[in-house]
Structure 1
């Protein structure tokens, strides 16, 4: 069974990217309206409001062409709203007023917009094919009742050739009949000319289902496919429950939703800078719940402040600018031995930094004289990675050093990752 929270299926293709107002045929407007109704049935009325708002209300209405403005009117206000007798200015004002009125509801349902910004493939195909057929002089005009129980479809051909072949309808969940231009039955395939063929489809009756002790009327899902020699198109109708999702179930779901969210105080680290993290394209962002963790003052009455007593968000900028540590090694090396062999698998991708300290090192005299001598030690890593740890002794009497005497050193190695541009955000509500 399907309801607002349990619907699943093949949802594809962003509507805003598909809708090309320049090529759209007015007789196909009913499919747009029907697609929006499918969102209301499958998701919610709020989801439909959100998709209308984010598709059109963040645009400069004055810069839209007449066709684009008409497309927005059809999607927002319904069939027949694409222009009418209103002046251009009145049309812009009406759209602007709708956007202002529905702004808060749309923004608060940003997640619903993310889930519902795609159309079920049947509705998309129907709209596309309706316009494609129109460009081939095949005019298909669907009329769908508001309750989606009755569908009438007119089909006529206005092309230069003699006719176009019509192969009839395929339907699921509907019972359909065809009427020819002379109000009589059709023999399929039928040659459609410049006179209308009418299809009348009636949805199958609702069945009665029990759910948690409550009775519901459930309309089955349905499809209507119009088949011509050119190309078919399909109308889709989702399963509908009346009444909708039960009140008690809805309340239970609402109570569970906060439990599925991240806890207050959760820190996240992301590559998105603030202007992109707060973008409408990021459906998980909610400005009342997440803020930048850069030490800024908390907004008034945040749950984070009530829990912690803190007045400011934690400042994670030092962490963001620090180097990452992949691995640490400590080894012993004799003079001349290389540190490269100490590199580990865990730290092989990092940049290694080395520190050497003496472990066992002695000077070496020129001779056995003991007067006025001084030791000279060298401890370092050369450009090849070899450890140099050696000592010699200077004899003041003879003014000469003894030869270098190799020793041993302790070596500390750190594998560091370079700084990356990341940003921290904290959940406060």
Structure 2
């Protein structure tokens, strides 16, 4: 019996992988414009990093991590998200001492969570994320949000919606925490075991519970925005005023909390309001995490970021019936007739490729008709026909597959002629 692919994973085949490459290229090009640089961190890290960085009261740490013990008896975890690893690298490589501040980074790679697979959600998924470390200016919050929104705009999504909230500073969250405990404590017995354990440790996490989200106390729970002190409220107003100035529409949702413990002040999600996308409409989430660097052993450093799943974005594009503009054509297909021509075509196709021309040839010993069919299947723009007579005369026949026009040219001129026809590629 054939070995099956693990549940919650997928093979991304040719024809589909080009969509991934296009999205990644759009995101990376925008990051370049915003002056964010790529960082690459290991796929597995010390388990302690995620317990500290993500928070031991979160569903991710409690239920979803892929954790194992290596041969040195060290507890390691496949990364469930990207921020903690980026901050660990920021601290370990002393990037807080960089001359250019804030340090603006982006990452792209596989993450791992043991959760129930469903449409657009996998146990191994690819996350693109951005982190800006070293600035407490609310303008950087607006910049990060605008970068996220513009990625979705650039790939063509139209029905996105920005939801924003403030989780406040430490003083504001302490007052809110006390109010949440007072609110939930009399009826905490009606909640799941996770919520019961969170009541004293981190009651804000109760609001993020998937199991008890329909409980009536969730609707009437105290909102953090009502407990913001003057400083936190001013910060939030500044962020929203910048969003107004750059023309980004938003909705303030006082019940929005993020599923990770490290967030404070600005929190946001980008949703898709399109029919057929499913019950879970979140595309992207992010926010500010001013205490995370210290938690991981670094100096006091503010930070803000976001992350999104590429699988979720592809599902959103499908829901909105958006076709990505992916070019699939081959510039030139070499049709070779006869053994001598077939042998020469190996060098010829290599020369074309080295000169920036996308080229392909027959590798199956097909006759001329079969090779032309192969050229059609790969959407070749031009077909160059090389037979024994052409080879003896140092010539080659070049056919434009769109117009049907054909010309015979000197064999050494094929590269130059094709470059001219293709616009100097």
TM range (shorter): under 0.3
Between structure 1 and structure 2, the one with the greater Rg is 1
Looking at secondary structure, tell me which structure has more helix per residue.
2
TM-score, normalised by the number of residues in structure 2: 0.18
Ranked by relative contact order (alpha carbons within 8 Å, sequence separation 6 or more), the top structure is 2
Looking at secondary structure, tell me which structure has more strand per residue.
1
